[in-house]
Amino acid sequence: MTDHKLKAGDIAPEFTATTETGATVKLSDFRGKRVVLYFYPKDDTPGCTTQSCGFRDAYPQIEEKNAVVLGVSPDSVKSHVKFKTKYNLPFTLLVDEDHAIATAYGVWVQKSMMGKKYMGIERSHFVIDEHGVIIEAAVKVKPEESVQRAVAALG
């Protein structure tokens, strides 16, 4: 577990990940574009569906601002394919089964449900500029708020 909290002005941690298509991408592949990197706990659960569909609905606005959306959760390729297809998500979903990306961004945290402690994703988003610098970091954000704040941060 990490104590560091990323904030605006920090360099976004580089990562390599598998997409829902099985392709490999790196954050640096998107230099020259802005990136909305959002983290969600699990495919096809209520809050995660709300957040993901919000980004889907805002996607035309996001694209107009020279930005892409990358969704990150610990789910498998197979799970991501089902989720993306079911909700017609127009952006890339990244597999983070080993939690390396979430850990690098400080959002793999201890959570608690009904007194039971477990590790999980803290719902969050990071808006990253064309040069790989974070322009907004929103951690522990509500699903609807995540979309509104990320779009606003793109200007």
Q: Which residues are catalytic?
A: 48
Token reading at 153:
């941060």
Cα distance between residue 63 and residue 47, in whole Å: 23
Q: Which tokens is 131 given?
A: 């040069």
CB atoms within 10 A of CB 145: 14
Beta bridge partners of 118: 111
Question: Which residue from 66, 78, 84 is spatially nearest to 22, judged by alpha carbons?
Answer: 78
